[in-house]
Structure 1
Amino acid sequence: MERTNFDSGLNKMDKPFKLLLIDDDEPVLANLCIFLRDKKYDVTSASDGLEGLKLFENDQQGFDLVITDIVMPKISGMGLISIIKKKFPDTPVIAITGWGEYPEAFAVESQADKVLSKPFELSELDKVINELISSKKHKLQD
């Protein structure tokens, strides 16, 4: 059974979990990349929905989890999540947004596994990532 090391982005084989991070706000994208890489995740980033979709579709090994902004140019986060969930329903997706008063409604509408409202605590993001990856691993083992 593969175990998640909750202090870092490593599984028990010391292989980093692969995350796709998409946000059109460059400072947010850069800061999240630094934080997640410091946590030992293998992070691929994109600055708009179309670039993120291309990276997702062209990656041969697949991503363990996707984190995407909701409001972005070219393809919205909601559109991106819908495409990902149709093709790969077991891939966990975290939506992050600075828009709207009811982020839970975004989760239901977009099929995101979790929605975080900006600004959020980085520790909360790390906790949610670990929960979703752990849940995915358990589902795949059943």
Structure 2
Amino acid sequence: MIRILLAEDDAAMRTYLSRALENAGYEVVSVDRGTAALPFLEQQKFDLLLSDIVMPEMDGIELAQRCAEVSPATKVIFITGFAAVTLKASREAPQAKVLSKPFHLKDLVLEVQRVFGQPSQASI
């Protein structure tokens, strides 16, 4: 089963995304900030880091850079509501996908499936 570490500071969005991914068959661990995500990345194996870019204490880009150091096999998808931040993310973490808010949950699940080469079966 694909394991996803979700870093999202907005509680409602974190719950919403976690539920959608779990309903699609993924195992999800969610945290409210990048600094909370780091110990998980250091101690457990995750297939995907799904991170908001704008968060307190440590932004998603820095988190992705640290992830690349401690867990280089972990893929990264960013989520953001800020267009300018999308451009910065593309430059600083070029291997990462970026989903701009608002997006439909089906789009999120389809993007995760694409990242792992899974057949499309999103039914949200």
TM normalised by structure 2 equals 0.86
Partner SS, residue 134 of structure 1: coil
Structure 2 match to 1:36 = 21
1:55, distance to aligned residue in structure 2 (A): 1.5
1:76, distance to aligned residue in structure 2 (A): 0.9
Query: 1:69 aligned to 2:47?
Result: no
Of 82, 96, 121, 1:99 maps to: 82
Of 23, 31, 35, 2:8 maps to: 23
1: CA distance, partners of 2:87 / 2:99: 9
Cα deviation 1:38-67 (Å, max 9, x = unaligned): 1111100000110011111121xx111110
1:101, distance to aligned residue in structure 2 (A): 4.0
Structure 2 match to 1:8 = none
CA contact (8 A) 1:93 1:113 kept: yes
What letter matches 1:120 in structure 2? F
Partner SS, residue 55 of structure 1: helix
CA contact (8 A) 1:17 1:64 kept: yes
CA contact (8 A) 1:95 1:116 kept: yes
Partner SS, residue 116 of structure 1: strand
Partner SS, residue 83 of structure 2: coil
TM normalised by structure 1 equals 0.76
Structure 1, unaligned runs of 5 or more: 1-15, 136-142
Of 70, 91, 94, 1:108 maps to: 91
CA contact (8 A) 2:42 2:70 kept: no
What letter matches 1:39 in structure 2? A
Query: Highest CA radius of gyration, 1 or 2?
Result: 1
1:110, distance to aligned residue in structure 2 (A): 2.7
Q: How many pairs align?
A: 118
Structure 1 match to 2:61 = 78
Runs of 4+ in 1 over 3 A off after TM superposition: none
Partner SS, residue 35 of structure 1: helix
Structure 2 match to 1:88 = 71
